[in-house]
Structure 1
Amino acid sequence: MRDKSSKKHTPRSRRKLAALTGAGLAPLMVLGLTATPASAHGWVTNPASRQAQCATGVVQCGQIKWEPQSVEGPKGLKDCAGGNSRFADLRDDNKGWRVTDVGSSATFNWRLTAKHATTTWQYFIGNTKLAEFNDHGAIPGEFVSHNVGFKGFTGKQKVLAVWNIADTANAFYACVDVNIRG
């Protein structure tokens, strides 16, 4: 009797084996190519940002209610929605946002649901940069706080808070409505 392990494979059987192997591996390869690691996500929780107010139901909003951490867009924007049309509610200055009374400075608290190496955190009123904090590529913890001064500003203002990610072209955006009492 002849040993089956010494049987020669014909070109046809090799092609069939290769096709079956390829068919079996293809779904795994597709999953491997499309699966991406969790990207950075975060938003300002205190003073309550617009997306925090949406998430807690203080203001009625669209999809941002379920994704307050997802206001992500290209770096360099001055947009409460991070250039994302799904979160257009955040751009509406007449939506009834609660305004937080602050003094000549305030501490902004971020909550990060996924961490990422960070270049800078920036705070703006209009085109005026109030503060910048450089993390030099460090990976922050779950909570990050910055004390920001409002020198030269009083009254109701919209502060744009920006988290610039070190290893992507994106940033995270949050707008906070404050009443600066100096």
Structure 2
Amino acid sequence: MSSRIRSTAAVAAATALAFTLMPAGTASAHGYISNPPSRQAQCAAGTVSCGPIQWEPQSVEGPKGLMSCSGGNQIFSELDDDNYGWDATPVGTTATFDWNLTAAHATAEWEYFIDGQLVDSVDGGGVQPPFNFSHDVDLSGYSGEQTVLARWNVADTPNAFYVCVDVNIGAL
């Protein structure tokens, strides 16, 4: 009986060791807008107290076509709450959105929405973008405090990355 217990203990220890030594899964998403500070950037900077997104602001990925700041990820649900205390950045009628990527995926397009309406679209040409780049987006059809939903559609997967940026249009 004691050899059976030892065998079981050895298998359990080996299994635990194997799981410990296995590589950790990587975050599935890889980019966000750093300026004007997106909701993810505000979490990462500690401007707003957030959950796990504070440690991985680049990790908001979900199926293409969603219109949520969290990309449908329950773990990042605070990003969907418009009353969470987000700072709105004053911008003119054109805003420059600075992207910070940690993995540059081949890109179909970037889309910018306000209230579910497409404001601008930038063709990605199916190529990998640089790790840092900017888009100038014409917001002249809007004024006051608005939330811009930016959606980065990856060319070779069914997924997109989601970012929301709170701005005060015309405040500059």
> Does TM, normalized by the shorter one, top 0.5?
yes
Matches of 1:128 and 1:62, distance apart in 2:
29
Which has the higher Rg, Structure 1 or Structure 2? 1
Q: CA deviation at 1:40?
A: 5.0
- Partner residue of 2:82? 93
1:57 aligns with 2:40: no
Structure 1's 88 and 37: CA in aligned 2 closer, same or farther, altered over 3 A?
closer
Per-residue CA deviations over 1:127-153 (Å, capped at 9, x if unaligned) read: 211100001101011112100011221
Question: What TM-score do you get using the length of structure 2 for normalisation?
Answer: 0.83
Residue correspondences, number:
151
- Look up the SS of the partner of 1:114 in the other structure: coil
Distance 1:97 1:47 in 2: 12
Alignment of 1:62-141 (within 5 A): 62-141=51-130
| 1:13 aligned residue | none
> Unaligned 5+ residue runs, structure 2?
1-17
1:12 aligns with: none
Structure 1 residues not aligned, in runs of 5+: 1-26
Task: Give, in angstroms, the shift of residue 67 of structure 1.
Answer: 1.1
Q: What TM-score comes out, normalization by structure 1 length?
A: 0.78
**Runs of 4+, deviation exceeding 2 Å:** 34-40
Kindly report the root-mean-square deviation, in angstroms, between the aligned alpha carbons of the 2 structures: 1.9
Q: Percent identity?
A: 57
